[in-house]
């Protein structure tokens, strides 16, 4: 199988390979952590939080053949977008809870605790009676390319990859208002939402205060 999934307007989408990872990591440092609402509003260098563990997790997803790159063919194949995605199974709910509980309480650790609580509450395996799903972990588009439909192209390409690999469901946890809106436009359904203002620590303090319009975490899902 060729790794290329199509070219449009000079932007090629292909399956990511492990050898791409150092460039992927640089790209995310410049584009993801300073743009994702919970990371960007933290005042912390979130890429440095749990960096080794995140590298291992990202590479494990790339090895599954479920991560995508968008490359500008008119600019020496420069990365202009990506998706990190991978399989999840029911036992991951307990695994994620244990991992999150053991993390330092920095921004990434707090995000992981939040997402673990939410995924346990919504339990998509029970809801859809499935034993695996494709989890779209991070979608990131270069700031200069936003608003041109590239994120939608990446999500649609990931759906095709998911179908070809036999996944019954694709899921995305959208911390950004815009990412949820984009995925809804592709036919993904919001199956759960949580207002950041309602998520508080043991002292009753709101944990995440991203700027408007990012008011909710939304779980978006689509049957493949």
Which of 103-107, 114-118, 167-171, 205-209 is predicted with the least confidence, judged by mean pLDDT?
103-107
Q: What are phi and psi of 33, to 5 degrees?
A: -65, -25
How far apart CA 137 and CA 142 sit, in angstroms, is 17
Average per-residue pLDDT in the chain? 93
Residue 4: which pLDDT band, with cuts at 50, 70 and 90?
A: confident
Residue 156: which pLDDT band, with cuts at 50, 70 and 90?
A: very high
pLDDT at position 146: 84
Q: What are phi and psi of 132, to 5 degrees?
A: -155, 160
Over residues 96-103, the mean pLDDT reads 94
Is 70 exceeded by the pLDDT of residue 132? Answer: yes
Give Cα 46 to chain centroid, integer Å: 15
Over residues 117-127, the mean pLDDT reads 97
Q: Edge-to-edge strands of the sheet including 78-88?
A: 4-8, 11-15, 68-72, 78-88, 133-141, 169-174, 216-223, 189-195
How far apart CA 66 and CA 217 sit, in angstroms, is 23
pLDDT at position 84: 97
Locus of tokens 């984009």: 182
13, with CB counted inside 10 A (0-12, 13-18, 19+), is buried
Largest CA distance in the chain: 53
Alpha helices in the chain (DSSP H): 21-31, 37-40, 51-62, 92-102, 107-122, 124-128, 150-164, 177-185
Residue 1: which pLDDT band, with cuts at 50, 70 and 90?
A: very low
pLDDT at position 206: 96
Residue 116: which pLDDT band, with cuts at 50, 70 and 90?
A: very high
Domain extent listing, the chain? 4-223
Over residues 196-220, the mean pLDDT reads 96
pLDDT at position 2: 53
* Angle at CA of residue 175, ends 169 and 176, nearest 5°: 110
Are residues 175 and 37 in contact, defined by beta-carbon separation less than 8 angstroms?
yes
Classify 19 as helix, strand or coil: helix
Is 60 exceeded by the pLDDT of residue 82? Answer: yes
pLDDT tens profile 23-80 = 999 998 887 777 888 988 888 888 877 788 889 999 999 999 999 999 999 999 999 9
Query: Peptide bond preceding 59: is omega within 30 degrees of 0, i.e. cis?
Result: no
CATH for 4-223, among 3.40.1410.10, 3.40.50.2300, 3.40.630.30, 3.40.50.2000? 3.40.630.30
Residue 104: which pLDDT band, with cuts at 50, 70 and 90?
A: confident
* Element containing residue 147 per DSSP (H, E): none
Nearest to 79, CA basis, from 124, 31, 137? 31
């Amino acid at each position: 199988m060729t790794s290329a999934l199509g070219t449009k307007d000079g932007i090629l989408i292909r399956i990511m390979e492990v050898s791409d990872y150092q460039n992927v990591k640089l790209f995310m440092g410049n584009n993801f952590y300073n743009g994702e609402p919970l990371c960007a509003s933290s005042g912390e260098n979130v890429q440095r939080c749990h960096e080794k563990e995140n590298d291992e997790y990202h590479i494990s997803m790339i090895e599954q053949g479920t991560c995508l790159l968008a490359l500008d063919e008119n600019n020496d194949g420069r990365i202009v977008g990506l998706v990190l995605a991978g399989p999840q199974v029911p036992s991951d709910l307990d695994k994620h809870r244990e991992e999150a509980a053991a993390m330092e309480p920095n921004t990434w650790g707090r995000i992981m605790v939040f997402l673990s609580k939410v995924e346990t509450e919504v339990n998509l395996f029970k809801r859809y009676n499935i034993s695996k799903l494709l989890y779209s972990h991070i979608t990131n588009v270069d700031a200069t390319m936003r608003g041109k439909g590239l994120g939608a192209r990446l999500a649609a390409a990931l759906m095709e990859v998911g179908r070809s690999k036999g996944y019954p469901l694709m899921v995305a946890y959208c911390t950004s208002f815009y990412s949820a809106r984009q995925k809804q436009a592709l036919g993904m359904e919001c199956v759960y939402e949580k207002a950041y203002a309602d998520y508080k620590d043991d002292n009753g303090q709101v944990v995440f205060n991203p700027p408007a319009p990012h008011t909710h975490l939304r779980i978006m899902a689509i049957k493949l």
